[in-house]
A = this chain, B = another copy of it.
Amino acid sequence: MTRMTATFPTAPDTRALEHGDELTPRFDANGLIAAVATDADSGEVLMLAWMNAEALARTLDTGEAHYFSRSRGELWHKGATSGQIQRVAELRIDCDQDAVWLKVRPQGDGGACHTGARSCFYRLVEDGKLKAAP
Contact = CB atoms under 8 A, between A and B. Distances in A.
Nearest to A71: B96
A20 B130 contact: yes
Given A45-B101, A101-B121, A21 B93 contact: no
Contact of A34 (B48, B91, B124, B131): B48
Interface in A8-43: 18-23, 34, 36, 38, 43
B48 A125 contact: no
Contact of A125 (B45, B91, B114, B120): B91
Interface of A: 18-23, 34, 36, 38, 43-45, 47-48, 60, 90-96, 99, 101, 113-115, 117, 120-125, 128-131, 133
